[in-house]
Amino acid sequence: MADSPMPFALRFLAGPVSGIYRRIIEARNAQFDAGQGVVELDRPVISVGNLSVGGTGKTPAVRAIARTLLESGHRPVIAMRGYGKGSGESDEAEEYRLELPDVPVVAQADRLSGLLHHFATPRGESTDCVVLDDGFQHRRIARTADIVLLDATRDPFKDRLLPRGWLREPVSSLKRASFAIITHAERAQPTD
């Protein structure tokens, strides 16, 4: 893995841009910590997210949580940003719909608006809980539990913020997580 997502020719900008990015993230988090712009839904919300860019196993974790909720008699909805291909539908949304046909999927950029629209439908009225896919940084929706996945092959304590490194937020943001799950442990290299 490259040590920076920024193209080599532009890496001299990574440090200053990363510093600006840190200040923006800290200011935004301070607003959310103060409750500004946060909406409390009338049903429990479980958020599944990560600190770094991509590949920590969010999709399998969301699928397992939704399946467990369904098997426990709950009626979850999966809410996700909905990054799309040409059709506007993401591979993950399609995967959820195929593997969990009894679980509605709200896939749109404004998850809150999508969920409120869903709750106003007959199927949405019976929805009793929400699972947010990639929700750790998307804090407009208050959550009952915040699950953060950490990839065992990428030490977040040795990584840096975007674009200098692969972190979306500083490691100190873990303090707001309900708990963390270590993923890809089978791929981790032993350390001395």
Mean pLDDT to the nearest integer, 15-37: 95
Q: How far is CA 56 from CA 103, 120, 183, in A?
A: 23, 33, 6
pLDDT the model gives residue 1: 43
Contacts of 102 (CB under 8 A, 6+ apart): 70
Residue with tokens 């943001």: 173
Mean pLDDT of the chain: 91
Q: Is the pLDDT of residue 85 over 60?
A: no
Mean pLDDT to the nearest integer, 156-181: 94
Mean pLDDT to the nearest integer, 114-124: 97
